[in-house]
Structure formats: structure tokens, C-alpha cells
Amino acid sequence: MDVVPIRELLRDLDLRPSKALGQHFLHDQKIVHRIAELAGLGHGDLVVEIGPGLGVLTRALAARAGRVIAIELDARLAEYLRRQFAGTNVEIVHGDALAVDYAELTGGQPYQVVANLPYSVATAIIERLLTGEHPPARLVVMVQREVAERLAARPPDMALLSVAAQFYATPRIAFRIGTGAFVPPPKVESAVIVLERRAETPLPREEHAPFFQMVRAGFAQRRKQLANALAAGLGLPKQTVEAALVAAGIDPGRRAETLSLEEWLNVYQALRKQVHHAD
């Protein structure tokens, strides 16, 4: 059967999708299996699923992976899933994906995240996973289409989220999904994005905070030219910033969304040298 009877399941369980939790249940089995296949799972792999809902994707993951840990915030659904997956290779954790210690959850083992993320917290979850102490090797996640496009954006359509995602991972949009694949249908289209974590980040960990402080300053006043935005955001003389931009090969009149990750890294290094020289 290509369609899971989600409405009947919800009725039998006397459950209504929670607007507060952003619950939209995927019922198209073809899409479910397509997502599971994208992860390229083997029987030795550990998978973390966030927001398993009624367990439709969970079942497909369990058939492919060695072990699945599914984190569900809704206590009613967590209890239902525990009954459904009792005695299997699936562990149900009733908890908040934004508060879970992933190193502790996985026992420090390598893992992937495969999930239909709740749209209201999808960006926050992705950021936490990518920047945490024990990040996944790969994320295969369904998100709002606009979020997926920002994650995988290229100049001149970059955003702070684009720079952050590409600093830690290599994102690519796998496919897009219409609203009819869900119960209830969301008001926005969706997309599945794959984020392959980089073996090494472009800068050592102690430089992550100052690098993103600079990038945030650039995007804080998007209508301003980059030299003005950085000078205002970082509290530096405009001539210092302009000199750094020229040294990095960047026109000071450009705007933040036109810079690639590589260009931001060049600006960071040039700005450090310029500030050090000024001191």
C-alpha cells in the first residue's frame, strides 16, 4: 500500500495533530522509502530520528539500519511508539531534540540523523546538530522548502544560515515534496536535504565564534554595503574594514548575500591581519 491510513490511526488513538508541535504526518510510502534510501544505511549503522510521529519512517529505517533511536516530544506518541516497536531494534526516547545530549544518547558512536523535522524548530535542531560536540556524519532531513533552499544557497542568495550550514557540512537538496503528502497538509511545500558533515571545519574550533560574529555583523544590516555593515557591527573604523576587504579581493560596496563561504573566510583572515596591524 502506497498510502498509510494516518487519519484512521489518529482516530483510533484519539489523537489530534498538535499545531503547537508542528505535527504534519507523512503518509506517502514512496516518499518514506525514498528518504530512507537516501541515507544509504547498512545493518551496522546507528540512526537517530527526530519527531517519529506515528512511526512510518521509523519502520523503514529499522528495516535498513542496525539500530534506531527515535526522539519524540509528544508523550502520547512516545507511548504508542514504545508499544509498536517493543522487542525491535528501535529505542523510543521521550524528550526534546533541542535539549538531548547526543554524545550520551548514542554512547559516543558514529550516527546519522534521518527525520521529518517539525518545521517550527527545524533550523534550531539542524544548527544544534552541526555545531554540537558529537555531530552526526550525515543528516537526511525533510524541512520547509524555503529552509532547504537557504541551507543550500549560492551567491547572490546567501543568508547567515547558508554560511553556517556550509561551514560545517556540504548541503544538497535531494527532492521537493508537495503539501498533499501529509496529514494535515502544511501551508508550505517541503524538501528533503542531505547535509554531509565536513571531515574538518575550515577553521579551528576556537575561531568559530569570532568568525560567525563577523558574518552576523555582515548580515545584520543587509541593505548596507558590506564595509558599512561590518564597521557598524564590529565597532571598527570603516577604513580598517575597507582595507581588509580590498586585501581579500572583495569590493567594499558588495552586500553580504553575494559572498560565498570561501570569500567570508578570506575576509575573516584579512580582517584579523588588518586589526592586528592597526594594534
Residue ranges of the binding site for S-adenosyl-L-methionine: 24, 26, 51, 72, 96, 116
> What's the CA gap between 117 and 4, in Å, rounded?
19
Binding residues: 24, 26, 51, 72, 96, 116
Cα separation, 114 vs 26, whole angstroms: 14
Rounded Cα distance, 276 and 233, in Å? 18
Letter string b/e over residues 61-90, b meaning 16 or more CB atoms within 10 A of that residue's CB: bbebbebbbbbbbbeebbebbbeebeeebb
Give dist(CA 255, CA 235) in Å, integer: 18
Residues in the chain: 279
